[in-house]
Amino acid sequence: MKLASRLALAAAVALAACNLALAQTSPATPPPSKKTVICLLPKKKGLPYFTTCAKGAEEAARELGNVELIYDGPTDGSPEKAASMVDRWTLRGVDVIAVSPNDPQVLGQAMKKAREKGIHVITWDADAAPEAREFMVNQATAKDIGYALVDAMAKDIGGEQPEGEVAIITATLTAANQNEWMRFMNERLAKYPKLSLVATKPSNEDQRLAFQIAQDLMKAHPRLKGIFGISSVAFPGAAEAVKQAGKSGSVLVTGLATPNDMKSYVHDGTVKSVVLWNTIDLGYLTVQTGAALASGKLKPGQTTLDAGRLGTKQIEKDQVLLGDILVFTKDNIDKFDF
């Protein structure tokens, strides 16, 4: 073999060896960053209230970019089925589970197990025992909500000292958030001594049952002046019962529901005031909170959270506050679409 050929062959072998060494020592191309998996569990999937919350959650996930959002829940509101979903997500090893507990006692054990596996657990819309979660994303304080409901009813009935019998239709007797609201509603009623609370009835997140309960309340209490519907299905159910009974304007109905669900009742005079918060913003804030917790940007002891388009939100102890109660009336309800 000629000298030039031998030199070329040696150079090629040396170059190949060099390339092999570089391939062995150079770092591999980094894998794509893992997305943060956040599971959003409503009390009852399919209700407009929770559907609009999910819309806001999806917006936050898109905005953050590195979040995979799973929105699911029992269509019948069963807390046992909800707990099973938490168990399945725990086995999968997701990053964050955000729960709106229908029954904190039933869901609490599943939530604690998830935390023991290193999964971040938060509540939103409704709370559970503090040991079952790290933070709660709260639409407003229970006091603010309870007081706003009673003040709205007093204003709707009218007069310097509104008077008459009133009743409450709630979702379930195990709903911790509604029990807290009712505690402050009773406290606020002391400001209006001529308003007498005569009954509190659960409707089990069933609008038809709320309709029937409202009918029964009007028959049992002929002097009834007002009905509070403090869930997103109890309120329209009670309003429809009052409307069909021909008592619009004489029995006032107020409560918590989305403006889209209540517009017709506001415009026909059955309802004067709808109390709520921006449900889209609540879902958005929940995902922002979960993502911040998973990334280490949210830790115990913080007093504020940078929440994307919502700006800076206050944290009181372990509660991230949306903090904006809205009252919809005939004058403004058409400006809102959720």
CA distance 321 to 211: 32
The tens digit of pLDDT for each residue in 227-272 reads: 999 999 999 999 999 999 999 999 999 999 999 999 999 999 999 9
pLDDT for 9 beyond 90: no
Residue 30 pLDDT more than 80? no
Q: Where in the chain is the domain with CATH 3.40.50.2300?
A: 36-139+279-322, 142-276
Q: Mind listing the pLDDT tens digit for each residue in 289-336? A: 999 999 999 999 999 999 999 999 999 999 999 987 999 999 999 999
What is the value of pTM for the model shown?
Answer: 0.84
Short-list 259, 257, 263, 189, CA closest to 226: 189
Q: What is the dihedral of CA 20, 23, 26, 28, to 10 degrees?
A: -160
User: In the CATH hierarchy, which fold is given to the domain comprising 36-139+279-322?
Assistant: Rossmann fold (3.40.50)
**Residue whose tokens read 């399945």:** 88
Q: In whole angstroms, how far apart are CA 114 and each of 69, 93, 220?
A: 17, 9, 46
pLDDT at 33: 65
Domain 142-276 has CATH 3.40.50.720: no
Average pLDDT over residues 4-18: 46
